[in-house]
A and B are shown apart, each in its own frame.
Chain A
Amino acid sequence: MLKLLNYFLNGLLYILRSPYTVFVYVLRFAYATLIFTGGEVISFFSYLGGKKYKNEDPLSIKLQQYLDQQTSSFQNQPQMSNNLGYAAMMQQVIHNPVQPSNNSAVPPGQPYPQQATPIQQINVTPVHLDEPQSRGDKS
């Protein structure tokens, strides 16, 4: 009932304000007509200039470029940063797995050469547990 009364009072207010509202909307329509005229003039000159007038603004393009740049720099980062969190680090590893170097001296199709220095044989002397160990005894 209270809501109905509220609607009734609002309705009365709207009726009383209707001449003002109509006047305001007539002015707004005139303003929209001016906007249309201005837009048509800009479209015409853009067309003469060989471009199409589009609904885009430099700031949102700048933002899009900035976001794209952020994404690409994040994906192409060669080294892992310790400042990143674990999840971001893992994302880097997934997106940039360790690739074999293309700057290898071995031409493609050739067998990989033998290592120049052979691995040294380490002679390990066996330790006899039966013999008594003398620690720090210099005699």
Chain B
Amino acid sequence: MIPYLIQLSESDKKKIAIIAIILATLIVLIGVIGESLKKKAESEGKFIDSYMFQLCKYGLIKDTDQFIAYVKNKETRTLYFETKWKFRLILFTIAFFFIYFYNFKNMDFSVAQQAIDGLSLGLVWPTGNFFGLNIVSSWPIITKQPSPMLNVDGYVVYGSLLTLILLTIFILNHIFIYYARLKRAKVVVRSVFAPNLDNTTFVR
């Protein structure tokens, strides 16, 4: 490995350093995004305190099982009400897509495939033999530039695809919030109904 690195030219070494820096930055970015998602989960989970506090205070919820069951029930209902229009829009979009292709294309989906292929970039990665392994040895060669289909068919395909992706992201956000609240309920229930001996004395 080391003799091979010594054999590398100065420009190759620079390229490797740049790639390493870009990779490290990407990994750090993923770490930052993950940590911010963790913080978001914590803040979203605290929402259950707003409605569980009074229920526990007035003795309407008396034990841990009841606590978790109530939070799950309420959050499931909230998840349905928050996502119902998003799911309905997904169904409408899929129905619109199929109705369009049924009416105008006689259920021939090759146009949709062409439209999606039009967005892709054609790359060929040159490979070289390295210690018996066939690995990437240089920058890729671009064989095809993206050429989106700019007609009605293309707009229908891209519009449907974009709508589906956006709606899925919104639904995933609600699912994330739902599980964050359930997790908070499971964590907090241990201390809510546990007898606490802090600042308590039984000495007479």
Contacts and interface: CB of A to CB of B under 8 A. Distances in A.
A39 B88 CA distance: 12
Contacts of B73: 57
A102 to B, nearest CB: 37
A32 B83 contact: yes
Given A35-B76, A57-B74, A63-B54, A29 B27 contact: no
A15 B29 CA distance: 11
A98 B24 CA distance: 78
Interface string A6-26: 111111101100000000010
B79 interface: yes
Interface in B34-52: 34-35, 51
A14 B76 contact: no
Nearest to A18: B30
B80 A36 contact: yes
Interface of B is mostly: helix
A66 interface: yes
B171 interface: yes
A39 B34 CA distance: 32
A38 B32 CA distance: 37
Contact of A4 (B28, B30, B70): B28
Interface in B9-64: 24, 26-32, 34-35, 51, 54-55, 58, 60-61
B27 A8 contact: yes
A52 to B, nearest CB: 12
Contacts of A10: 31, 34-35
B164 to A, nearest CB: 13
Interface of B: 24, 26-32, 34-35, 51, 54-55, 58, 60-61, 70, 73-74, 76-81, 83-84, 87, 168, 171-172, 174-175, 178-179
Given A29-B172, A32-B178, 18 more contacts: A7-B28, A8-B28, A10-B31, A11-B28, A12-B27, A14-B31, A25-B172, A29-B168, A29-B171, A33-B87, A35-B79, A35-B80, A36-B83, A36-B87, A39-B81, A39-B84, A57-B74, A59-B55
Interface of A: 4, 6-12, 14-15, 25, 28-29, 32-33, 35-36, 38-40, 55, 57, 59-60, 62-63, 66
